[in-house]
Chains A and B, each alone.
Chain A
Amino acid sequence: MKETPKERRLATPETILALLLLLLLAGLSVASPEFRRPSNYLGMTRFFIEVGLIALPMTLVIITGGMDLSVGSIVALAAVTLGIAWRDWHLSIWLATALGVLVGAVAGLVNGALIVGFRIPPLIVTLATMAAYRGLAIGISRGDSIGGFPNEFRALGRGFYYLPHGIEVPGQLIYLIVFALLFRLFLARTGTGRQVYAIGLNETGAQYAGVPVGRVKLLIYSLSGAMAGLAGAVLASRMSTATSDLGLLFELDAITACVLGGVSIYGGRGSILGSMLGLCIVGSLKRGLFFLGVEARDQSILIGIVLILAVFVHQVVVPAVRNWRLRLSHSKEGSP
């Protein structure tokens, strides 16, 4: 007997994560009166939208068995480029923003070219470019911080929509949702999306089966750079400053969201929905712990513990549940 689609959906890590998130939100809402204020739930997302924008392509990168450590530095590089282009080259703010995103895409393309062209492991390439791009950002800005952006740009990361009862919805939440849908469609519904999984499962096999491995990798690393560039623009707007130390440790936050969301670090497995759930879990946990009076340093410890627990769930619990269901369905098949 085959599992019905409904049954299969129940066993996915995404369902478990969604339940976990709901449980977490419920728990924190009971524990903290500030957390259960209606404006909190959507309002708090503004703290992790930028990381979310990076986690989307990071999901693809990790599914291919790769890694992109340079995204945090690309955030800084794009933000600084944007700032310099606007202030010193007198470009319009939106042209400057486009230039920032373009610089991000090029930085990502360079990563991809080094990985594909010289067959250097992604971890090493992006470790090197992580330092190089950060250095470049410091060099271009000469360590200066650029602020005083026009109001229409500040709306990019500091604007809110207002629902009834004064509930604030950060404008950038819409971008994340739109991009998440696009990435989900790309990964789940297109041929290239399937090729991403194929590369992660067995790269050599995929190559022999005619998958243009090099081209796919170039595409996803460029995407990663471009999205980091966009995150840089949103962040520069939200922070009202473009400096070379923006985006520090964003790569780790994005990887945390992916791994928590069930993207296998060995490649071949993972989903956009999972990563986004992982992102929301870490984000809500941070905010909730803050409201409960847990200091920043202790929050990091707790988030570390949650991450290890998550890996345990994905590596041990989910396969166990799957096996158990499989055995159940087999035994049903056996006895008439």
Chain B
Amino acid sequence: MNRRSLALLALCLPILLLLVGCPKTEPPTPSTAGPLPSTSAATPSSPDAGETIEIAMIPKLVGIDFFNACERGAKEAAEELPGVELVFDGPTEASVEGQVEMIENYTDRGVDVIAVACNDPNAVADSLKRAVDKGITVITWDSDADAAASGRAFFVNQVRARDLAETLVDEMARQAGEDANIVIVSSTPTATNQNTWIKHMREYMAEVYPGMKEAADVLYPGEDQAAATMATQDVLKANPSINGVFGLSSNACPGAAQAVVDAGRHTEVSVVGLGTPKAMRAWVDRGEIGSTVLWDAVQLGYLTVHVAQAVARGELGPDAESFAAGRLGEVAVEGDVVVLGKPVVFTKENIADYDF
């Protein structure tokens, strides 16, 4: 092929793309536009009490203690409930693409319920909408999706953001004093949960502990414990006045604790955060770290499966005010949010009872 035909080809390319691309923008194309004249999807029917309900539960990622504990609780619920079949599977990294692929895979496979802990509220919304359109019951847990855009039925919330923020700040005031100089080690800058907690923490600090202030900008080491350790080391060196570190993810908290203990400064710097009991236990047992705050991950998984099957069977609807969830008893329902309860503070006394 010579230069001339190449030039011709280069000319043809945009035209071809236009030809190919144009019909796509016409109304009936995007699956996001609404119901389509597709004949492939079987008409959805809400299963009766006797039928088996298949639940696909998708965590943010697999292979970390927290979600392993959720899986355990979910399996306990699936065993005690009749006619519930559970698959618990997630991406190997907390990636948007992995999770969307998984949601769409389960949609194509045709499960009854998809329950997802969202990595990105925008990203999963369209995929969840597709599942809802194909007649699948969708709920979220741990991290919510955009409720309106996704069409999800319920969000299983581990804890109210305000309750958690208050517990964290109270713990910090107890350990480091009401006028502590603090720094917040968060997750990624997009993490919805962390950003909401930070907002509430700031409000609560201003309200109740006006002497407590942020001595440095929020750190974003991502979901990476080693990076959290490094970031904490750096910020402690740069700001010697800091005497309180908030670790706002299950990686940031042990990461920050590691940095403080390694530097031998645990007597002057308090670490308060959301570490899993297992990751924090050695430090808490030795008294180097005062406590760790979290919710019970096993119960979160347990509750999610209960909610999933109840919604699928039509037993839990939009007007409910409370919900009987097996061994958890009655849990509060606020609009389309089911709340697990208050955060748990794990100290020397009770930390050994939790295995996650």
Instruction: Please report the C-alpha to C-alpha distance between residue A156 and residue B98 in the assembled complex, in whole angstroms.
Output: 19
Interface: A178 (CB within 8 A): yes
Among A59-67, A112-120, A294-302, the stretch that binds chain B is: A294-302
Residue B20 is within 8 A (CB to CB) of chain A in the complex: yes
The CA of A280 and the CA of B33, in the complex, are separated in Å by 29
Given A34-B108, A143-B188, A297-B92, A159:B120 Cβ within 8 A: no
B1 and A239 contacting across the interface, CB-CB below 8 Å: no
A183-214 interface with B by 8 A CB criterion: 185-186, 189-190
Q: Judging by beta carbons under 8 Å apart, are A152 and B92 in contact?
A: no
Interface size bracket, A side: 35 or more
A148 to B28 CA separation, bound complex (whole angstroms): 19
Q: Is the CB of B126 within 8 A of A166?
A: no
Q: How far is the CA of A244 from the CA of B17 in the complex (A)?
A: 28
**A239 touching B109 in the complex, CB below 8 Å, given contacts A155-B29, A158-B31, A166-B38:** no
User: Of A143, A145, A152, A248, which contacts B220 at CB under 8 A?
Assistant: A143
Mask, A142-165, CB within 8 Å of B = 1, is 111111100110111011111001
Centre residue among A148, A182, A241, A249 by max chain B CB count within 10 A: A241
Binding-face segment, B99-107, B171-179, B234-242, B319-327: B99-107
Shortest distance from the beta carbon of A174 to any chain B beta carbon, whole Å:
5
A185 and B1 form a contact (CB under 8 A): yes
Pick the residue among B100, B125, B189 that contacts A138 (CB under 8 A): B189
With beta carbons under 8 angstroms apart, the residue of A39, A161, A182, A245 that contacts B95 is A245
Nearest to A32 among chain B residues (CB) is: B109
- The reply to whether A143 and B190 contact each other, CB–CB distance below 8 Å, is yes
Residues of B within 8 A of A145 (CB): 120-123, 190
Residue of B nearest to A145 (CB): B190
Q: Are B97 and A246 neighbours in the complex by a CB distance under 8 Å?
A: yes
- Given A143-B220, A167-B40, A243-B96, A290:B30 Cβ within 8 A: no
Expressed in whole angstroms, the minimum distance between the Cβ of B114 and any Cβ of chain A is 14
CB contacts (< 8 Å) of A148 on chain B: these are 122
CB within 8 A of B97: which of A152, A175, A235, A300? A235
- Is the CB–CB distance between A296 and B120 below 8 Å? no
| Inter-subunit contact B40/A165 (CB<8 Å) | yes
Residues of A within 8 A of B50 (CB): none
Please determine whether B108 and A40 come into contact, CB atoms closer than 8 angstroms: yes
Q: Is B25 an interface residue (CB 8 A)?
A: yes
Asked if A296 and B92 make an inter-chain contact with CB atoms under 8 angstroms apart, the answer reads yes
Q: Does B329 contact A (CB under 8 A)?
A: no
Say if the beta carbon of B6 comes within 8 Å of chain A: yes
Please tell me if the beta carbons of B30 and A243 are within 8 angstroms of each other in the complex.
no
- Which residue of chain B has its CB nearest to the CB of A149? B122
Give the docked Cα–Cα distance between A296 and B93 (Å).
10
Task: With CB as the reference atom, state the residue of chain B lying closest to A186.
Answer: B6
Annotate B240-268 by CB proximity to A: 1 below 8 A, 0 otherwise: 00000000000000000000000000000
Shortest distance from the beta carbon of A304 to any chain B beta carbon, whole Å: 12
- Would A190 and B6 count as touching, CB distance under 8 A? yes
Set of chain A residues within 8 Å of B17, measured between Cβ atoms: 175, 178
Chain B residues within 8 Å of A, Cβ to Cβ? 1, 6, 9, 13, 16-17, 20-21, 23-25, 28-33, 36-41, 62-63, 87, 89-93, 95-98, 100-102, 104-105, 108-110, 120-123, 125-126, 146, 188-190, 220
Known: A162-B28, A248-B97, A297-B63. 19 other contacts (CB 8 A): A37-B40, A37-B108, A145-B123, A159-B29, A159-B30, A161-B29, A166-B39, A168-B40, A182-B13, A239-B96, A240-B123, A243-B96, A245-B95, A246-B96, A290-B102, A290-B105, A296-B89, A296-B92, A297-B62
Which 5 A-B pairs rank lowest in CB-CB distance, beginning with the nearest? A143-B189, A147-B122, A166-B40, A241-B122, A189-B1
